[in-house]
Every structure is written in C-alpha cells, then in structure tokens.
C-alpha cells in the first residue's frame, strides 16, 4: 500500500454531503481489502494479518463465512480482486506475492486457491472484461492483459507509456474503453480504447486539488467512484458521460478509514474501512432519484431531518416499519397526515417498509 499524502487543498466542483454507516464488523480483527458482490453475498478480501477471502450475506452482516485461505501460497493478504461470471471464479492478486490466484466458487468451502500465472510487476489493479474474458492489469507505467479463457494464460503488454516515472492503477471498463488512474505529481484519470492496435491515452480528469492514494475505483452506471486514502480519506464521483476533461465531485469528505475496496448493490455502496476493520455503507442520491418514486407512494423530503411524508398515501390502513441498514427494525406505526417523526433517529441510511391494501413497498431514505 502506498504511503498517504496529506490533503493540502480541496477544490470542490460539487459537494453531495453523503455519510457512511456501519454495515458489518464481522471480520474484526482483520483488515478488509478488495470487495465484490456476487448474488446476495459480499466477498471480502482480507489484506492482513490473514490471507483469506470471506463472504457476508447482505441480509446477515454479522456472520462472515470463510471462502478461501491462501496463506500457505502467498503468505500475504488480498490486494486486488475481480470476479469472472463466465467461470464463476474470483481472481486475486496478493499484496507482495507475484501470483494471480483463481478461486472457483462452485467448489465446496473452504476453496483451495489455484496459482495460474506469475504477475511480472507490482500489480495496482485488475478488471475483467466480462464479454471477452480478458483481464487488464495496471502497474508502473504499463497495462497488461491476460486471456482468462486460455489453457495457459500469459501476460501480454497492452500499453506502455514512454514516461517511466508514471504509475497506473485501478482500471475500470466503460463504453469500450479502459479507464485508469495515473500518478505523476498528482492524480489524473485517463482512458484508452479497448482492442486498439496502437492504444493511446486520453485525459478524462486531472482531479484538480485532490491529493492522496486512490486505493479503489468502482463503476456504477456512468459514474466512476474513487476511494482515496488520505487524512481524512474521501470518496469522489466522476460522470464519464460529461465533456472531457471533466472535474470530480466530492461525495464523502470524511470517509472513516482507508477505502481499499468498493462495491455496490441495490442502491447501497459498501466500502472497506482498513482503519476500523469494518465494512461501511454509503449512499449516492444521484443514483436513486427514481428509486424513491412509485406508482402510488414516494417520500418527501428526502433527505429529511425531522418529518417524513408519504406522498399519495391515503386511508387509515397504511402501516409502516423503519429498518436500519443492517436490517434491524427500529420503528413502526400507522401513517397519518402529520407524517412520520424521525427526529430521534441517528444520521444515516434507512428503509421504510409500507404495507397497504395487502401490498408491500420498501422505500429508501436518508436522515440528515
């Protein structure tokens, strides 16, 4: 892991004021690293002191199940990880060792990891093209690719920058282009076309005024999210559909720890907190504007501080229950025109379950 660079100055184009809430502390005292959501499970790579993969059911966050222990192979923990749906396998790069490990998830737990190829450099990122099975790896001033469908996979150079002082990390794929982080006296985002004969990089964002180490990236819809470790750590969002070069938006200014892993499912983000040894949730309102609108009911205002109102609600038969992000019921009652008093709730993300006319709806809201 790279050393932190202290945050000196922030130039913020947008400020969303999102917050984090605790999702799970089931892996304490281990340091959580990369994250992947597969089905209803969150897969957590352990960075230290163990070299393991656990999975946590999203509906049962306090139970972590061992998926694989590869301590005897690498001796160090999971650093980068991605999932290939075609063969239902996780691919893991440990922190110091040169192996790329394959973990077939259709096997009986715990699964024995299989070293499939040596990585010829310090790998700072892996992303798998789900359409082709080509995995792209970043590190130093190089981008490599490996065909995971090959019987004998080998590393092939895809792009090398002439400036050997650069360092690439954390690739993502969007609209037939490979996006990656570049370090050179600051943080920038570049892209290069996939499958180009002579690929060239194109500047996407210079990330003006933001400093630190990008430990994780995540693509959701057309937005690229960056988990940046610093003092404090923070989360940035970049719209990849915007005219380039573009500027980032600050989503979370005070992330609780090192965001080494990011994942997303059904309106909620999951992030590693490498300082607190936990997994946290956060929420981006821009992704969920349509999720709070239903044919009959919607919530207003959202976010809210004191009162929550259900638009288009009618009749005396509408009952509600409020659940925390970990699934615990916190409050219930009958809805009235006076709204729902949420003033005693702590700040965070909640779910409002509405029952009416033998129908059930669940709406997400934020207490600010």
pLDDT tens-place string over residues 74-122: 668 999 999 999 999 999 998 877 789 999 999 999 999 999 998 877 8
Work out whether the CA dihedral 31, 37, 38, 42 comes out positive or negative. Answer: positive
What is the distance between the alpha carbons of residues 332 and 330, in angstroms, rounded to a whole number? 7
> Quick check: 58 and 42 in contact, CB under 8 A?
yes
* Two structure tokens written together for 45: 């790579």
Rg (the chain; Cα; Å) = 22
222-to-204, 218, 300, 305, 331 alpha-carbon distances in Å: 13, 10, 26, 30, 36
Q: Write out pLDDT tens, residues 116-151.
A: 998 877 889 999 999 999 999 999 999 999 999 999
Portion of the chain with pLDDT greater than 70, in percent? 88
Element (H, E) at 231: none
Residue limits of CATH 2.120.10.30 in the chain: 20-287
CATH 3.40.640.10 fits 298-367, yes or no: no
| Dist. CA 212–CA 233, nearest whole Å | 8
Mean pLDDT of the chain: 86
3-state class (DSSP) for residue 71: helix
* Nearest residue to 240 (alpha-carbon basis) of 259, 261, 219, 226: 219
- CATH 2.60.40.10 location in the chain: 298-367
27/277 Cα distance (integer angstroms): 7
Domain formed by 20-287, architecture: 6 Propeller (2.120)
Predicted confidence at residue 11, as pLDDT, reads 33
pLDDT tens column, 135-194: 999 999 999 999 999 999 999 999 999 999 999 999 999 999 999 999 988 899 999 999
Global pTM? 0.77
* Count of CB atoms situated within 10 Å of the CB of 246: 18
Sheet containing 223-229: order of strands = 213-220, 223-229, 233-239, 249-255
Q: How far apart are CA 272 and CA 301, in angstroms?
A: 30
Those residues whose C-beta lies under 8 Å from the C-beta of residue 18, and which sit 6 or more positions away, are 235, 251, 252, 282, 283, 284, 285
């Amino acid at each position: 892991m790279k050393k932190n660079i202290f945050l000196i100055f922030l130039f913020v184009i947008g400020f969303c004021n999102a917050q984090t809430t605790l999702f799970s502390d089931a892996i304490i005292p281990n340091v959580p690293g990369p994250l992947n959501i597969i089905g209803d499970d969150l897969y957590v790579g352990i960075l230290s002191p163990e070299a393991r993969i656990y999975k946590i059911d999203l509906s049962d966050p306090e139970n972590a199940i061992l998926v694989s222990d590869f301590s005897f192979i690498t001796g160090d923990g999971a650093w980068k990880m991605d999932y290939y749906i075609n063969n239902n396998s996780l691919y893991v790069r440990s922190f110091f060792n040169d192996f790329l490990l394959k973990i077939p998830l259709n096997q009986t737990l715990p699964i024995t990891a299989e070293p499939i190829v040596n990585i010829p450099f310090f790998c700072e990122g892996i992303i798998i093209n789900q359409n082709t099975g080509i995995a792209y790896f970043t590190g130093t001033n190089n981008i490599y690719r490996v065909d995971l469908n090959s019987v004998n996979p080998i590393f092939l150079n895809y792009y090398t920058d002439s400036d050997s002082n650069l360092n690439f990390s954390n690739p993502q794929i969007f609209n037939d282009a490979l996006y990656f982080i570049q370090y050179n006296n600051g943080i920038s985002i570049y892209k290069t076309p996939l499958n180009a004969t002579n690929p060239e990089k194109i500047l996407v964002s210079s990330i003006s005024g933001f400093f630190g180490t990008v430990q994780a990236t995540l693509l959701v819809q057309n937005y690229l999210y960056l988990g940046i470790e610093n003092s404090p750590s923070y989360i940035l969002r970049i719209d990849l559909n915007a005219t380039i070069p573009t500027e980032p938006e600050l989503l979370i200014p005070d992330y609780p720890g090192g965001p080494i892993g990011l994942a997303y499912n059904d309106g909620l983000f999951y992030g590693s907190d490498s300082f607190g040894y936990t997994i946290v949730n956060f929420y981006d309102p821009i992704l969920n504007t349509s999720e709070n609108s239903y044919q009959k009911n919607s919530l207003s205002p959202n976010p809210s501080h004191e009162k929550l109102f259900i638009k288009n609600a009618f009749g005396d038969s509408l009952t509600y229950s409020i659940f925390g992000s970990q699934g615990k019921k916190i409050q219930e009652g009958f809805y009235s025109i006076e709204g729902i008093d949420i003033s005693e709730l702590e700040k965070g993300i909640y779910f409002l379950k509405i029952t009416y006319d033998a129908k059930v709806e669940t709406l997400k809201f934020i207490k600010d």
